[in-house]
Structure 1
C-alpha cells in the first residue's frame, strides 16, 4: 500500500456514505440508505466495514466553543531542547493529558517542533496553561503563541476521492 491510498478500496457507495456522514453523523441508517441509493442492510454493512477499517474513527457532536465559555483559540509553536524519540514521547504523553489541547502536530519548516491548537476560557486560563503546565514539561525550551482573531474556515469534512 502506498501513502495516500485507502486501506480498503472505496467505491461510489462508500464515498457517498462518507460524504453524507461527515455532513450529518446523526442520520439514521434508513435515511442514510435512502440518501445514497442502497437498501438499509447493505448500507449498514458498509458503514460497519468503514468503521472496522478505521476510516470512520468516531461520530461526535461539534460544539460551538464560545457558547460554552471557551473564548480564546491559540496556535502555539513549541520548541524542544533535544530531538530524540524519548523526548518527543515524553512531551506527547504529557500534552495528551491537557483537555485544552484540540490538536498537536509534530512539524517541520519552523523554528518549532510542535504546533498546538488550544482552546481556553480567557487570558487568565491561558496564563495558567502556559506558565504552570506547558512550560513545566521537561524539554520545552520555547513557546510562541498566536491568538486566533477570527476563523474564516472551520471544516471537519475531508474530501473523499
Structure 2
C-alpha cells in the first residue's frame, strides 16, 4: 500500500497527539469521521502504526542521566551477535541498541539515576554481556533536541 497525502497527514497528527479522538482527527485532516476511522484502521493493519504509547518524562521518573555506550565484540560470528542481542534486550535500563558500521559494533542508549547508578548497571549487566571485548561510555550533558516523530 502506498501512502497518499491524507494518510501522511493522519500519521503526522497521530505522532504528536496519539490520544486525539477520531472526531478531532477527522476535522484536522478534512475527512468524515467514518472515513478517517477506516484509514486509521488500515494504517494499523498494514503496520504503519505499530503501537500507541505514553512517553514518560525521564527526570520525573528519576532517570535523568543518559549514557551512550559503544561496544566492540570479540568477533562478528552470528552466534555471538545473536547471544549479545538477546542478552542486551533483557536489560531494562537499555532503551535502544543499534548494530553499527564503523568503529563500534553496537551503540546502546542507557538511562540511569546518576553516575553511581550507571556504575551499578555497568557492573551488573553490561560487563556480563556475551563477547564484549571493549566498552566506552559517554554521558550526555544536556538533551538539545529529542523527538519520536518520523518525517512523514
TM range (shorter): over 0.9
Per-residue deviation at 1:96? 0.7
Instruction: Kindly tell me the number of residue pairs found equivalent between the two proteins.
Output: 152
CA contact (8 A) 2:64 2:112 kept: yes
Gap runs ≥5 in structure 2? none
Q: 2:33 aligned to 24, 40, 46, which one?
A: 40
Question: In 2, distance between residues paired with 1:56 and 1:93?
Answer: 25
The answer for the alignment partner of 1:3 in structure 2 is none
CA contact (8 A) 1:135 1:141 kept: no
Q: 1:152 aligned to 126, 144, 147, which one?
A: 144
Computed over aligned residues only, the root mean square deviation of the Cα atoms, in angstroms, reads 0.9
Gap runs ≥5 in structure 1? 1-7
- TM-score for both structures, normalised by structure 1: 0.91
CA contact (8 A) 2:87 2:130 kept: no
Per-residue deviation at 1:15? 0.4
The answer for the alignment partner of 2:115 in structure 1 is 123
Map 1:21-32 to 2 at 5 A.
21-32=14-25
- TM-score for both structures, normalised by structure 2: 0.97
